[in-house]
Amino acid sequence: MSAEKKNTLKQYLIRIPILLIGLTIAHLGVTLFLLSNLGSDPYNVLIQGLFRTFDSFTLLPLTHGTTHVLISLLIILILLLLDKHYIKIGTLLCMLFGGPIIDLFSILLSKFNLHTLPLPGRILILSAGCTILAFGMTIVINSEAGTGPNDLVAIVLSDKTNVRFSVMRVLVDSTFVITGFFLGGTLGVGTIICALLVGPIAGYFLPITKKIIQKTISGLFLK
């Protein structure tokens, strides 16, 4: 094996654990968001709307979960045709492990009955969840090992249009919400908060986590 291939393999062996750490942090945020019981996140409002629309006239036994997988696969397919360098092993890892991580955190946090808190407390939990989600998402993105299909939409559009990621994320999430709502998806106050918060917070954390990850990888390579 050439030195270049060895370095590439070593980088992936470092970057994939970093991605999984970020994915775990991000889905802790998603879990807090869901347990606040104030609405679905923007992408799932879209999925819910598509599921309710297609389920009314298709013969396929669709569920929300299968619709989620199909739309995610469609995004991956489109990106493979347009610019395949965005699709990496981390994209598949995000698809495979996202759900189980949320399930695990839901079990661990269910005893706290967050959904029974007064509304201000639930909004606080929701906002904390959005912040944690955005922070974890920037670790996943800066791992450069790949990221989830729904996050890739904003990343690709940001790269192609030279619009800041924070702005593009708000635009993409708002599009998901509006489209999903008109297709029959359910949204709540949490959906709006998430659509407005995640992009700007991620924009703040992106350069910070990038420096940390670069220093970490450089330090490990020097050992």
**How far is residue 45's CA from residue 27's CA, in Å, rounded to a whole number?**
17
Query: 187 in a domain, yes or no?
Result: yes
Q: How many C-beta atoms surround the C-beta of residue 169 within 10 A?
A: 27
Tell the residue number behind the tokens 């996202």, with chain if given: 98
Count of domains observed in the chain = 1
Q: How many C-beta atoms surround the C-beta of residue 74 within 10 A?
A: 11
CA 169 vs. chain centroid, Å, equals 11
- Residues 111-150: pLDDT tens digits? 899 989 999 999 999 999 999 999 999 999 999 999 888 8
- Residues 180-222: pLDDT tens digits? 999 988 888 899 999 999 999 999 999 999 999 998 888 776 5
CA within 13 Å, CB half, 208: 10
Query: 173 in a domain, yes or no?
Result: yes
Query: 34 in a domain, yes or no?
Result: yes
Query: 14 in a domain, yes or no?
Result: yes
Query: 1 in a domain, yes or no?
Result: no
- Residues 34-62: pLDDT tens digits? 889 898 789 888 988 888 888 766 666 67
Give the three-class secondary structure for 55. Answer: helix
Q: In which domain, by residue range, is 117 found?
A: 9-222
**How far is residue 135's CA from residue 122's CA, in Å, rounded to a whole number?**
20
Query: 3 in a domain, yes or no?
Result: no
In which band, very low, low, confident or very high, does the pLDDT at 175 lie, cut at 50, 70 and 90? very high
* Rg of the chain in Å (alpha carbons): 18
Give the three-class secondary structure for 144. Answer: coil
Q: What local confidence, expressed as pLDDT, does residue 4 receive?
A: 59
Contacts of 2 (CB under 8 A, 6+ apart): none
Q: What local confidence, expressed as pLDDT, does residue 24 receive?
A: 95
Query: 183 in a domain, yes or no?
Result: yes
For 61-122, the DSSP string reads ---HHHHHHHHHHHHHHHHHHHHGGG--HHHHHHHHHHHHHHHHHHHHHGGG-GGGS-HHHH
* Contact indicator for 32, 132 with CB cutoff of 8 Å: yes
Q: What local confidence, expressed as pLDDT, does residue 95 receive?
A: 82
Look up the pTM and report it. 0.86
* Contact indicator for 198, 169 with CB cutoff of 8 Å: yes
Query: 2 in a domain, yes or no?
Result: no
**How far is residue 178's CA from residue 195's CA, in Å, rounded to a whole number?**
11
Q: How many helices (H) and strands (E) does the chain have?
A: 8, 0
